[in-house]
């Protein structure tokens, strides 16, 4: 099981950070109730799947931090339940900063304040210097989940509504990477969609963050849970 997953994913693009620390990878047992397991996350309830795959594997990159002690700053309420079942993958210094607690202010909001220039954006009254200090103190990445599936369509119906906010051609790949954000207010979940360079039939979907709401519509469960998760 474990070896199967590692072998299967060995061709993944290195820029996704796969196998940065294989010893911290934990795979879910097959046939785990993924719907229930993934409920707290931004999981894909409905997927077109690789028919050749008869197992389900997952690896969750939880709210990991760049340094071990930083993780202790994350309130237990945000250290969502399912992740406790998994070992944590200590990742590289994060590109995404989130300030947990402190009145609910997030670094995303702080960045927004920084960019506001006092015109049409809300000025949150947080100085760039303070933001810099906050960044230095805490670097916490949103939990991320990645899976691949064989599909002709890039965007899989996962029950949530997404708005595309960017597209980028990634180096050494033929296909552009698309960036989507959940359309729900106060939901900051994002996902990236790209095609596997080695096999364009495979769609790589990476979710970042957790939905704070229910799916906008019911998922089509006809595809079952037979998809393959990838380590991040």
Partner DNA sequence: CGCCTTTGACCTGCGC
Partner DNA sequence: GCGCAGGTCAAAGGCG
What tokens were used for 10?
């060995």
The residue from 41, 145, 147, 162 that contacts DNA (CB under 7 A) is: 162
Does position 122 interact with DNA (CB under 7 A)? The reply is no
Distance (Å, whole) CA 84 – CA 63: 11
Does position 213 interact with DNA (CB under 7 A)? The reply is no
Does position 133 interact with DNA (CB under 7 A)? The reply is no
Distance (Å, whole) CA 191 – CA 213: 16
Give the CA distances from residue 6 to residues 17, 45, 53, 112, in Å, rounded to whole numbers and listed in that order.
14, 23, 14, 39
CB of 163 to DNA, least distance (A): 4
Scanning 34-42, 57-65, 71-79, 166-174 for contacts with DNA by CB under 7 A, the matching segment is 166-174
Scanning 33-41, 48-56, 92-100, 219-227 for contacts with DNA by CB under 7 A, the matching segment is 92-100
Does position 145 interact with DNA (CB under 7 A)? The reply is no
The residue from 6, 70, 80, 111 that contacts DNA (CB under 7 A) is: 111
Distance (Å, whole) CA 17 – CA 51: 26
* Local structure of 199: helix, strand or coil: coil
What DSSP character marks residue 57? B
Scanning 51-59, 81-89, 98-106, 158-166 for contacts with DNA by CB under 7 A, the matching segment is 158-166
Does position 127 interact with DNA (CB under 7 A)? The reply is no
Does position 226 interact with DNA (CB under 7 A)? The reply is no
The pattern of x and - marking residues 177 through 206 that bind DNA according to CB under 7 A reads xxxxx-x------x-x--------------
Buried b (16+ CB within 10 A) or exposed e, 192-229: bbbbbbeeeebbbbbbbbbbeeebeeebeeebebbbbb
**Contact of 58 with 34, CB cutoff 8 Å:** yes
Binding site for DNA (CB under 7 A): 15, 92-97, 111-112, 114-115, 121, 135, 161-168, 170-172, 177-181, 183, 190, 192
């Amino acid at each position: 099981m474990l070896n199967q997953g590692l072998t299967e994913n060995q061709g993944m693009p290195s820029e996704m950070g796969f196998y940065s620390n294989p010893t911290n990878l934990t795979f879910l047992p097959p046939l785990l109730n993924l719907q229930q397991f993934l409920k707290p996350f931004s999981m894909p309830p409905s997927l077109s799947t690789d028919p050749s795959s008869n197992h389900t594997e997952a690896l969750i990159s939880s709210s990991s931090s760049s340094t071990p002690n930083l993780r202790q700053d994350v309130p237990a309420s945000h250290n969502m339940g399912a992740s406790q079942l998994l070992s944590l993958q200590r990742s590289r210094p994060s590109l995404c900063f989130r300030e947990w607690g402190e009145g609910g202010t997030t670094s995303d909001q702080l960045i927004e304040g920084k960019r506001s220039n006092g015109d049409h954006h809300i000025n949150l009254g947080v100085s760039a210097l303070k933001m810099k200090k906050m960044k230095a103190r805490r670097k916490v990445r949103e939990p991320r989940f990645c899976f691949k599936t064989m599909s002709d369509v890039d965007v899989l119906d996962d029950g949530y509504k997404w708005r595309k906010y960017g597209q980028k051609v990634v180096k050494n790949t033929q296909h552009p990477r698309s960036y989507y954000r959940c359309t729900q207010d106060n939901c900051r979940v994002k996902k990236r969609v790209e095609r596997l360079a080695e096999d364009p039939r495979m769609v790589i979907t990476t979710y970042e963050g957790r939905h704070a709401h229910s799916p906008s519509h019911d998922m089509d469960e006809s595809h079952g849970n037979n998809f393959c998760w990838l380590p991040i």
